[in-house]
Homo-oligomer: A and B are copies of this chain.
Amino acid sequence: MENETIGLVVRSSGRTGVLHQLTGVIARHEGDITTVEIIDNWPAEARTYFEVVIAGDPGVLVEDLRKLEIVRSVEMVKTFQRIYGKRIIIMGGGAQVGQVSIGAISEADRHNIRGEHISVDTIPLVGEQKLADAVRAVARLPRAKALVLAGSLMGGDIEAAVREVRQQGLLVISLNMAGSVPEAADLVVTDPVQAGVMAVMAVADTAKFTVERLKRRVF
């Protein structure tokens, strides 16, 4: 039987140790957990979402989860990967983030129609430390593939954070702006709409666009 990724929503009583019990059952079935979300965690009830790669019959795993005393229901659902897919993250000043998002959303629309799954996530932020923290946190976000830095001036610790997340495999596109961030990015783009479009093209399997094959790094 081929390995299959399944999505499970487990409703249980809510208390410390819920996740430990649930993951114990999944480990016994040699299920490989690729995603977990704590949807709710109240004293009265917890809802936990898992994506699990499993070789055998998922029905047996579901039955064994239901046998736990704390579990009230287990429901199989579609996975986030199938619904929201790859994520482009855009952060910086509101004016520029908005323009980059217009380009990225329009381009994602064109690829999603052809079977891709790309979503565009944004956060407007001010301040060197807040931006540097947010850049570093992108490396911990599930399914994040590319980051666009949209602003007029970024440098200092933001530049250091950009170099760190690039080392962890993230593609970083910077608007052409003041400060040292453009020097640290994979790609520098002057037009914010084009920056958003290029970010999507770079991660879409339906696009013929490879950053490594570009002859210029600044547009």
Interface of A toward B, CB cutoff 8 Å:
9, 16-17, 19-20, 23-24, 26-27, 30-39, 41, 49, 77-78, 80, 83-84, 93-95, 97-98, 101-102, 105-106, 108-110, 112-113, 118-126, 130, 133-134, 136-137, 139-142
A19-B19, A94-B109, A109-B126 are known contacts; what are 13 more A-B pairs with Cβ within 8 Å?
A: A9-B140, A35-B38, A37-B141, A77-B137, A78-B133, A84-B123, A95-B106, A98-B106, A101-B102, A101-B120, A102-B102, A112-B124, A119-B122
Given known pairs A35-B38, A134-B84, the reply for A120 and B119 (CB within 8 Å) is no
Given known pairs A94-B106, A113-B126, A124-B108, the reply for A32 and B27 (CB within 8 Å) is no
A110 CB contacts on chain B under 8 angstroms: 94
Given known pairs A109-B94, A121-B122, A123-B84, the reply for A49 and B140 (CB within 8 Å) is yes
Residue of B nearest to A91 (CB): B119
28 sampled A-B residue pairs with Cβ under 8 A: A17-B23, A19-B27, A19-B36, A20-B24, A20-B26, A23-B23, A32-B41, A33-B41, A38-B142, A39-B140, A49-B140, A77-B140, A78-B137, A80-B137, A80-B140, A83-B130, A83-B133, A94-B105, A94-B108, A97-B105, A98-B101, A108-B124, A112-B124, A112-B125, A119-B121, A120-B121, A120-B124, A122-B122
Q: A34 contacts which of B27, B41, B133 (Cβ < 8 Å)?
A: B41
Given known pairs A37-B142, A84-B137, A112-B126, the reply for A98 and B105 (CB within 8 Å) is yes
**Interface contact A27-B33, CB-CB below 8 Å:** no
